[in-house]
Structure 1
Amino acid sequence: MALAIGEVIEKARSELNSLTGLEIESTLGAAREDEGWLVSVEVIEKHSIPDGMDILATYETKLDSDGNMLEFKRTKMRKRIDMENIEE
């Protein structure tokens, strides 16, 4: 039975947290690929005071069609206070 997108996102977030020990801040996106899923999440790499100086990182995770994580990689880092260019 195919997994729903919500189930895939939850599996990606849970597995990434388990493997890295990093707190998941938010889900940035999820998309079905040829033989699985690509899920992007933002995590807190380092808490700072003030919060605006927290170091956030974007991770991309690839999961198979059953929701098993095949790979993950950090693709970007930034301070929370730094604004991103958001394309709509």
Structure 2
Amino acid sequence: MANTSNTSKAQSSRSSQSSQKESGESTSSDKRDSDTADRRPGAMEVLRRARAQFAELTGMTPESVTSFEQTEDGWALEVEVLELERVPDTMSLIAGYQVELDPDGELTGYRRVRRYERGRADAHRRGGP
């Protein structure tokens, strides 16, 4: 008999939730689901998480974030890391990595896009050949 009683309660609960959804009322579980779906991390949270995830994956701590933008697929940023420490410091090797994250801020991929000595500046070309 206990099973029959529990089954009746479960069916009545389901029909109550169903009628609430049809009437536009929401249940507490519906609110939790929509709050989670609406809650996306902000820019600072994404940056912090990206730096931590990148460091955990590569073993290199980002020294700076040189670009950061929201994309259709999530987030994209470029970080610079110390790859090889040398003396003097201006001879140390720095690398720039492009890092991609999903909309929730989870790292989905990274790749090294440049490598240079700390003391070197990028070459700039002026209007001509």
TM over 0.5: yes
Q: 2:87 matched to 1:49?
A: yes
- In the alignment, is residue 66 of structure 1 matched against residue 104 of structure 2? yes
What are structure 1's unaligned runs of at least 5 residues?
none
Report what 1:38 is aligned to.
76
Q: Displacement of 1:54 after TM fit?
A: 0.7
- Aligned residues with identical type, % of pairs: 30
Q: Could you tell me which residue of structure 1 aligns to residue 66 of structure 2?
A: 28
Give me the TM-score of the superposition, normalised by structure 2.
0.64
Deviation, 1:85, is 4.9
TM-score (norm 1): 0.92
Greater Cα offset, 74-83 or 6-15: 6-15
- Deviation above 2 Å: which 4+ runs of structure 1? none
* Partner of residue 84, structure 1: 122
Give the alignment's Cα RMSD to 1 decimal: 1.2
Give the number of equivalent residue pairs: 86
The equivalent residue for 1:5 is 43
Instruction: Specify which structure has the higher proportion of strand.
Output: 1
SS of the residue corresponding to residue 84 of structure 1 reads coil
**Structure 2: tracts of 5 or more residues without a match:** 1-38, 125-129
**Deviations along 1:45-83, whole A, 9 cap, x unmatched?**
011101001100000111001111110000000000001
Larger-Rg structure: 2
